[in-house]
Every structure is written in C-alpha cells, then in structure tokens.
A and B are shown apart, each in its own frame.
Chain A
Amino acid sequence: MRIFHVPVLIAAAALLASGPASAAGLLIADGGLGGQLEIEEHDVRVVVNNGVAVTTVTQVFRNLENRQVEALYVFPVPKGASVANFSMWIGGKEMVGEVVEKIRAREIYDSYKRVNRDPGLLEQNDFRSFEMRIFPIAAGAEQRVQVAYYQELDWDHDTATYVYPLATVARPAVQARTKGKFALNLDVKSAVPIVEVDSPSHAQAFVIAKHSENYAQASLETSGGDLNRDLVLSIRVARPRTGLDVIASRPQGEDGFFCLTLTAGEELAVLDKGMDYVFVLDISGSMGQEGKLPMSREALGAFIAGLGDGDRFEVMSFNVKANPCFRTLQPANDAARQEGRAFLAATAAAGGTVLQPAVQAAYRYKDADRPLNVVLLSDGLTEQRDRAELLQLIQARPGGTRVFCIGVGNDVDKPLLEQLAQDAGGLAAFISRDDNFERQAQAFRRKLMRPVAENVRIEIAGVETYDVEPKVLPNLYHGMPVRLYGRYRGGGTAKVTLRADVGSKTTTSTVDLELPVKDGGNPEIERMWAWHRIDGLLREADRTGSREGAIPEIVRLGEGFSIVTEYTSFLVLENDAEYQRWQIARRNATRVARDRSAQQQVAAQLDALRKKASADVGPAEQARPAEAPAPNVATPSGRPASAPRPGDVDFGSGSPAPSGGRSHGGGGGAFDPLTVGIAAALAGLAIAARRRRVESHKP
C-alpha cells in the first residue's frame, strides 16, 4: 500500500526572493538524505492574467534504485505565492488535496500515523518551501506530482517579473538536471497593452510571440536541461494615460469577483525637487548571516550614489540603539557620499533588532518644508510582541514623511515590512544577492521622485460591491499599479470614482466600467481575492494585537478557496472514501475541476487569438493593398498608441492642474450660458451699431 508520510512544511503565503531559493520540485530518496530520483519530465504551465500568475508544475520522477524508497518531495514557493493545489497520482488516479482547519488536519494526520497509514499534510511553517514525504515508491516505478500556486507578480518600471525558481541553495549537493523533457509555457493576458515580453535569464532559449496588444506567449522546451538557474521572464506593459482596468469572474450561482487595476500613465510629469532621506541600516546579529550586511552596504551605497543634487541625506545604523553618521542632513555631494560609505564600511553585525528607537530617531530629521523619506534596510526579524507598538509608531509619523522598507536576503519577514511600508505611505522592496543594486537604486529613486497620488480612494456606484481589499489603498507610484479586489452582486455598468491627493490638490475622476453578469473568464482572481482578504484580516488583527476574532473567517476562507495559512493545512488522503469518512467536503477538487475547465476555455480563446494573429502574418501589400500607413505608432489593434482607452482618467501630476481641484479626464474651453449671454449682448450691440452706421451713410 502506498503511504504518504510526514509533514511538511510550508509555505504558501509568502516569500522570498527572486534569487536562488531552492530547486524546482525535487524528489529525494530516504527522506531527503539519499539519492535524488531522476526527473523524467518537468512541465510548467503559467498563465499571467493582468499580473496574477498561476503556475502549474507537473513532474514525473523515476526511482532508478533497485529497492523501494521513501522520498521527500521538496518544492520552493516563490515570494508572495499561495499554494492552490497539490495532486499525486496513485495507481494512475489523481488524488487532489483539500484544505482543512489546521488542528483538525493534524488530528486526522495523527490518527493515520498511529496505524501506519499516513496521509500527506502540508502546513505553513515559515516562508520558504514545502516538503512532503512520499512512501513507498517501488523500484523502477514512476511518481507523478502536480503543484499549482498563485502569485501577484512584482512590478517595477511598468514591468512585471516572473521567476520560476530553479537555482538550488537549500540542497546544493543535489544534481538538478532533468533527463527527460523540460518545458515552460507562459501565456500573458493583459488589459493594459503589452509592450514586450523577454527573458533576461534565457533570452536565446525562449520563443516569444506577441499575438496582440493584450496577449503574448513564451515557451521554452529542452531535453536534459540543467535546472540550476532561475528562469526569469519580464512582461512590460504601458498605459499611455493613467487609468483603471477591470477584470472579473462570476461563478455560476455565486456573487462575482473583481480586480480593479489603477495604473499611472505616461503623461505624468517628474516631480523634480529635492527630498531628504534617512537611510536606516539594521546591523543586528541576524544581519551577519547569509551575507546580508555586505549586501545591504552595497545596496545602500548604490542608493546614496543615485541621490540628486538637491537631495540631503543621513545614514544611521541600529541594533538595540541608533547610531547616526552625520547627526544632521547633509547635501548629497561627493564628500558626504564618501563619508557615508566609510561609515557603512565600519559597521559590524551584533546585538538584537529593536526598530523603534531607530525609526523615532529618523523622524526627528523632518524639515517642515521638505518631504522626508525614511529608507529602512532590514531583515525585519523583530519580536512578534514588538509589532503592534512598531505599527503604532509608523502610523504616528510626522506629516510629509514616508517610510520605505527594503527587505534584505531570503530570511526576511516580508509581511511585516510590507505592512510597515503600506501603513507609512511608502512601499517595500526586496533584494537578494544576485540583484543589480544600481538598477534597484535607480528604480527605487524613480518611484520616490514620481509619486503619482496619495490618499487614493475608489468608490463604486451602480453595482453593489462588498468585502473590498485592501481597505486603505496604498499610494500610487509610477511603474507600480495599485490593485483593488472585491466582490459584487448583480452586475452591469459601475460608476467608479477615483479621488486622490496629487501635490496639494485633491483630484476626482469618474469612469464607467463593466462588471459582467455571468462568467467573466478570469477565475484566477477568485483565489487572489481570498488571499488578500486573509492578508487584510491578519493585518487588522495584528494592528489590534489579537487575532482571535479573525481566525474563524480566515479558516472559512482558507477551506473555501484552498489556501494554506497559519490556521489551515493541505491534507492529501488516499482516496475519496477517506475524505467521506472524515466528512471533508471536496471543495478543492470541485474548484480544481472548475479552474481546469475555465483554463481550457481560456486556452481555446488564446488559440483563436493566435490563429487570428497568424492569419495577419504575410506580405502587407498582398494582404491589404489599399490600406494607407498608420498615422502613428499603432498598436496591433490599429488604435494609435496615444488614443484614449476605456477607463482613462485624469489623475493630475506634479504640474499644476488647470482649474481648482477638479480633474476629469481632460480640459476644455467651455462657453457656459452666462458667457453666451454676454456674447449675445455684444452681438446685439454690433448689430445695432451696424444699423446705425448704415443709416448714417444713407443719402
């Protein structure tokens, strides 16, 4: 009898780094201590729908040893990903796991262990990877497993980066080479026009095709490929004007799900004025591990080098106390930069992490007439009990101050740093050892210099919406879209009103967006909504200091949407009868079946798009002899790049708005009734004057 064994760890919700995390799924004999089972087939299918990536990894392993083995399946979960499904094939039949409340899942698991019939159990223990023991795998037998996970891609410079982690760190001795086929197919759907898709890591190996402005495809296939280098794909989009895009999903018999994306357009001007920066570097003992401190020094050096002439800065290190370099803000000149670098070079990792004194010290640098940016470089490994106090401190920051958090290394408390940054009107970024720090610094500075809007508020009328996440929207930065998830009843045309503070003015803009009454074709956003809802509940609970009240709803959402959390676990039982015995509803099995059906429909739509695009390929003269050249750089749809799109809004910029605080998508000259009345009076005068002149010239 086949037995899945032991627990496992991990991850679903969060973490780490675009850098090496650990190899793509590996099956290692003898509970992870023995030889690796050969990877016969490794198939990765990715659908990126408006920044939400769904990765389905199917792997076939073969036990080449002449004995039955117990193996450990190890799989890395990328930063910010949520495991949506785990399937194993037993006797040729796929067994789909279910998410169950954590304590109950553990009880069920223990009851099997007592009789040596262990199920598979996935628990979230930390942020890194998950492991599952599988037993037995007969000599020469093959083992097929499938993992699916969802993630929101990181955006920067209007570019979403997708990383399929292959580099191995956790188990460097493991040979990560596939004997059979390795294939990765990526479909990109985007409401915002796609500019290009490319692969910085495997430019030559990928075949990339852009079929329309809203759909592109990339694929790579190899045999006997080396799996020790991350696959990276970049998807660049551009919205000519600031605007809102919506995608929706409407399961049969349920309320709908929507995802609104607010993207800063090209029309926004650079806010070209000096700012103050206080760089706060964590030098606690934990920063001495995995080269985090040297990495932080290098990154900070790049940030300081990238400061502009009008900027001023201070550098501060901290562990249990804060140690400033200058004790005052220094103009960003060569001498100050050099002194700052020398200060950084002299730092050494020691002591605990107490963020509060450092953050308070940084606030004291606030100058009344200049914006202050506090840039915190840390692994964020502060004590849980300190979190509530720290969050209060962030919320009590002086006006005109933003806090930016840069997570360093792979062992980073991403949720805490993100929450700190979001609460402080800033943003979080994460660096790992293989990053290009100069590029990171430039990108970061660009965001600082181009804050498009603060206090962004979105109101939806015309269609009833609820459970919208996040409750408070983050600031809108150039190159980084803001997303709002929620549910809706009914459907139809929704009037979406945006309000935001741009510079010293509040702007308002209203656009009409369509929420479908049925279908919608974007099932990916359902889980992402639930994931954000859980995240929002956890954040709110942490803010109040108690999670107790939030746990029942988190469990309900976790079980309903198959999301592994701190309070829910993935359980894989042997067969359907076992699920029935434990009265575990097959929600995930149903959802997986529905998702697959939806994916097939999407695949058919994409196939139609590909065919249409292929049909357009050919000599232009023969295909369209009568057509004149386009008057502008045209998108594949024939629309000029600058042409208005549905959902365009005027969100202002650093430049003065033409009138008051209103901003409604464009400006215009307007003769109102009063002006027309004055003009009519003048016209009357003109006519009377002419008559008089004519009469005076009559003989």
Chain B
Amino acid sequence: MRLHENLAAALRRLPLATLALTATAVAASSAAAAGFFELTPAALAAGESWRLLTGHFTHFGAEHLLWDAAAFAFLGTLCERDSRPRFLAALALAALAIPAAILLVHPALPSYRGLSGLDSALFALLTATIVRERAAEGGWGWVAVTCAVFALFLGKLVFELATGTAFFLQDDSAFVPVPLAHLVGAAAGLVAGCWTTGQGRVRVGEPEAIS
C-alpha cells in the first residue's frame, strides 16, 4: 500500500503535460511532419485549422528545436509543478493568441513554426507566480530581483521588435524571427499568472504539508 501511494505521489510530481508536449515537439521536428503541421495562412484558408495549434510544435531545424524545447522543458516543469491548470490555461491562451496576432500583423508570412511563443508565456507565468507568492509573504527583495529578470527579458523583446534583428540568429538562418510571437505569448502568460480563482492551486509535487 505504501509503495502504491509513493508511486502515485511520484506520478503526481511528474510534469506529465510538459513531458508530453516536449516529446510532441521532438516528434514533429522532421521536415515532412513540420510541413504538414506548421502554421501557414494558405493552409488555414484551405481549411486546415489544426495548424493553429500544431504550428507551435514544429521547427526549422535541430538548433531551433534544441533551444526552444530546452526552455519549454524546464520552464514547463516549474510552472506545471506549481499549478497544472494555470500552466495549461497559459498555454491554451498563448497558443490561440499568437497565431491570431501573426495572421493579423504579418498576413504575408508564409509560415510560422516554433515553441518559443509558448516559452515566453511560461516565462511570464513563472514571473507572475513568483511575484504573487513572494509579495504575499512580504518578500520584496525577491519581487524586485524577479521583476529585474523579467525586465531583461522584455528589454530583449523590445530590442528585437525595434531593430528587426535577433541575438544569436545568423543572417543565413532558415527563418526570420517573429518577436511579436514572444510579446503576445508573454502577455498571455501574465494574464494566466494573474488568474486567481482560489481553487487553482493544485500543486504538482508540492509537499503535502503545504496544502
């Protein structure tokens, strides 16, 4: 009985959704799969609406996938362990808002791929979570440092939006960066992070004592 309970607790601590979604991104990394699942306005017009969601999980190459998936894995793990509903809400909101914004602002973009918009949502969600919890306990030093890190992230986004260039992305890379996706993703993450229903604190892996 004890073994069964330990196993159940271990499973609860596992960030299953993060693992599953990261695995999905890896599985969709082949060129053929990416072509079939990427977000393209032409395909949407032809009725392939699944691409609105699947486009996030496709990538332009191994390097693109590596950094996006790595960030998703550790940010997702932390967010999901904090609150799976909030984690899923942030992802769902960002997953829909990002394509909408891209189609609206960049209708001529032939295709969109990448997890980083969702990564940005998780980044903002984690920031909001730390700030909310530390502020509730009077940890203003933590709040200040966290806000500083978030400001760094925002500063980078603004730089990319203003200059149209991206750090570490070479001119001959296979795609153009879309900072708008990061901005919209971050906004979605903040909205989900500010979501306090009072019942959403199902902490994955949190010590029993806390609840």
Across-interface contacts of A240 in B (CB, < 8 A)? 42
Across-interface contacts of B176 in A (CB, < 8 A)? 650, 657-660, 662-664, 666-668
Question: Can you give 21 A-B contacts (C-beta < 8 A)?
Answer: A242-B110, A267-B41, A632-B47, A633-B46, A654-B108, A656-B106, A658-B179, A666-B112, A667-B102, A667-B175, A667-B178, A668-B176, A669-B113, A669-B120, A669-B177, A669-B178, A670-B116, A682-B75, A686-B129, A687-B78, A693-B210
Cβ of A369 within 8 Å of any chain B Cβ, yes or no, is: no
Cβ of A345 within 8 Å of any chain B Cβ, yes or no, is: no
Describe A's contact surface by its main secondary structure.
loop
Across-interface contacts of A666 in B (CB, < 8 A)? 38, 60, 109-113, 174-176
Known contacts A632-B47, A652-B108; 20 further A-B pairs (Cβ under 8 A): A265-B110, A653-B108, A654-B108, A657-B108, A658-B102, A658-B176, A658-B177, A660-B163, A668-B59, A668-B178, A669-B182, A674-B167, A674-B168, A678-B153, A678-B156, A679-B71, A680-B74, A682-B127, A682-B149, A686-B82
Instruction: Decide: A679 near B174, CB < 8 A? Known: A652-B108, A666-B113.
Output: no
Contact partner, A667, options B111, B145, B149, Cβ 8 Å = B111
Interface membership of chain A positions 680-694, coded 1 if the CB is closer than 8 angstroms to chain B and 0 otherwise: 111101110100111
Interface membership of chain A positions 230-247, coded 1 if the CB is closer than 8 angstroms to chain B and 0 otherwise: 000000000011100000
Instruction: Decide: A632 near B67, CB < 8 A? Known: A267-B110, A668-B60, A669-B182.
Output: no
Cβ of A510 within 8 Å of any chain B Cβ, yes or no, is: yes
Instruction: Decide: A632 near B46, CB < 8 A? Known: A652-B108, A672-B167.
Output: yes
Beta-carbon contact of A642 and B182 below 8 Å: no
B residues 90-109 near A (Cβ < 8 Å) are 98, 102, 105-109
Beta-carbon contact of A669 and B146 below 8 Å: no
Beta-carbon contact of B210 and A659 below 8 Å: no
Instruction: Decide: A655 near B107, CB < 8 A? Known: A672-B169, A673-B67.
Output: yes
CB distance from B14 to the nearest CB of A (A): 17
Across-interface contacts of A654 in B (CB, < 8 A)? 108
Interface membership of chain A positions 636-661, coded 1 if the CB is closer than 8 angstroms to chain B and 0 otherwise: 00001111100010101111111111
Cβ of B166 within 8 Å of any chain A Cβ, yes or no, is: yes
Q: Which residue of A lies closest to B31 (CB)?
A: A644
Cβ of A268 within 8 Å of any chain B Cβ, yes or no, is: yes
Beta-carbon contact of A508 and B127 below 8 Å: no
Beta-carbon contact of B116 and A671 below 8 Å: yes
Beta-carbon contact of A660 and B106 below 8 Å: no
B residues 112-164 near A (Cβ < 8 Å) are 112-120, 123, 126-127, 129-130, 133-134, 137, 139, 142, 145-146, 149-150, 152-153, 156, 160, 163-164
Cβ of A665 within 8 Å of any chain B Cβ, yes or no, is: yes
Beta-carbon contact of A659 and B178 below 8 Å: yes
Across-interface contacts of A644 in B (CB, < 8 A)? 35, 111
Q: Which residue of B lies closest to A663 (CB)?
A: B176
Beta-carbon contact of A241 and B67 below 8 Å: no
Instruction: Decide: A669 near B43, CB < 8 A? Known: A661-B164, A694-B207.
Output: no
Instruction: Decide: A689 near B108, CB < 8 A? Known: A659-B178, A669-B177, A674-B168.
Output: no
Beta-carbon contact of B146 and A685 below 8 Å: yes
Beta-carbon contact of B111 and A673 below 8 Å: no
Cβ of B171 within 8 Å of any chain A Cβ, yes or no, is: yes
Cβ of A631 within 8 Å of any chain B Cβ, yes or no, is: yes
Cβ of B172 within 8 Å of any chain A Cβ, yes or no, is: yes
Beta-carbon contact of A643 and B36 below 8 Å: yes
Beta-carbon contact of B145 and A685 below 8 Å: yes
Cβ of A676 within 8 Å of any chain B Cβ, yes or no, is: yes
Across-interface contacts of A242 in B (CB, < 8 A)? 110
A residues 603-641 near B (Cβ < 8 Å) are 631-633, 640-641
Across-interface contacts of B142 in A (CB, < 8 A)? 685, 689, 692
The CA-CA distance from A687 to B41 in the complex, in Å, is: 40
Contact partner, B164, options A660, A671, A692, Cβ 8 Å = A660
Which of A510, A655, A669, A672 gathers the greatest number of chain B CB atoms within 10 Å?
Answer: A669
Cβ of B83 within 8 Å of any chain A Cβ, yes or no, is: no
Q: Nearest 10 A-B pairs (CB), nearest first?
A: A660-B164, A669-B116, A669-B114, A672-B168, A666-B111, A668-B114, A655-B108, A642-B43, A653-B108, A669-B181
Across-interface contacts of B193 in A (CB, < 8 A)? none
Beta-carbon contact of A655 and B106 below 8 Å: yes
Instruction: Decide: A642 near B68, CB < 8 A? Known: A666-B112, A685-B146, A689-B142.
Output: no
Contact partner, A670, options B133, B169, B180, Cβ 8 Å = B169
Across-interface contacts of A266 in B (CB, < 8 A)? 42
Cβ of B209 within 8 Å of any chain A Cβ, yes or no, is: yes
Q: Which residue of B lies closest to A642 (CB)?
A: B43
The CA-CA distance from A550 to B179 in the complex, in Å, is: 53
Across-interface contacts of A681 in B (CB, < 8 A)? 149
Q: Which residue of B lies closest to A649 (CB)?
A: B110
Instruction: Decide: A669 near B165, CB < 8 A? Known: A652-B108, A656-B106.
Output: no
Across-interface contacts of A632 in B (CB, < 8 A)? 43, 46-48
The CA-CA distance from A631 to B210 in the complex, in Å, is: 49
Cβ of B197 within 8 Å of any chain A Cβ, yes or no, is: no
Beta-carbon contact of B67 and A670 below 8 Å: yes
Interface membership of chain B positions 179-198, coded 1 if the CB is closer than 8 angstroms to chain A and 0 otherwise: 11110010000000000000
The CA-CA distance from A269 to B115 in the complex, in Å, is: 27
CB distance from A642 to the nearest CB of B (A): 4
Across-interface contacts of B75 in A (CB, < 8 A)? 679, 682-683
Across-interface contacts of A697 in B (CB, < 8 A)? 209-210
Q: Which residue of B lies closest to A632 (CB)?
A: B46
Cβ of A583 within 8 Å of any chain B Cβ, yes or no, is: no
Cβ of A675 within 8 Å of any chain B Cβ, yes or no, is: yes
Contact partner, B108, options A267, A631, A662, A696, Cβ 8 Å = A267
Instruction: Decide: A686 near B70, CB < 8 A? Known: A667-B111, A668-B114.
Output: no
Across-interface contacts of A693 in B (CB, < 8 A)? 133, 137, 210
Across-interface contacts of A676 in B (CB, < 8 A)? 67, 70-71
Cβ of B84 within 8 Å of any chain A Cβ, yes or no, is: no
CB distance from A502 to the nearest CB of B (A): 9
Beta-carbon contact of B108 and A268 below 8 Å: yes
Across-interface contacts of B46 in A (CB, < 8 A)? 632-633, 640-642
Instruction: Decide: A510 near B172, CB < 8 A? Known: A669-B120, A682-B123, A682-B150.
Output: yes
Cβ of B173 within 8 Å of any chain A Cβ, yes or no, is: yes
The CA-CA distance from A60 to B118 in the complex, in Å, is: 72
The CA-CA distance from A672 to B123 in the complex, in Å, is: 14
Beta-carbon contact of B164 and A650 below 8 Å: no
Across-interface contacts of A642 in B (CB, < 8 A)? 40, 42-43, 45-46, 48
The CA-CA distance from A676 to B182 in the complex, in Å, is: 13
Cβ of B86 within 8 Å of any chain A Cβ, yes or no, is: no
CB distance from B169 to the nearest CB of A (A): 6
Beta-carbon contact of A659 and B165 below 8 Å: yes
CB distance from B56 to the nearest CB of A (A): 8
Across-interface contacts of B165 in A (CB, < 8 A)? 659-660
Across-interface contacts of B130 in A (CB, < 8 A)? 682, 685-686, 689
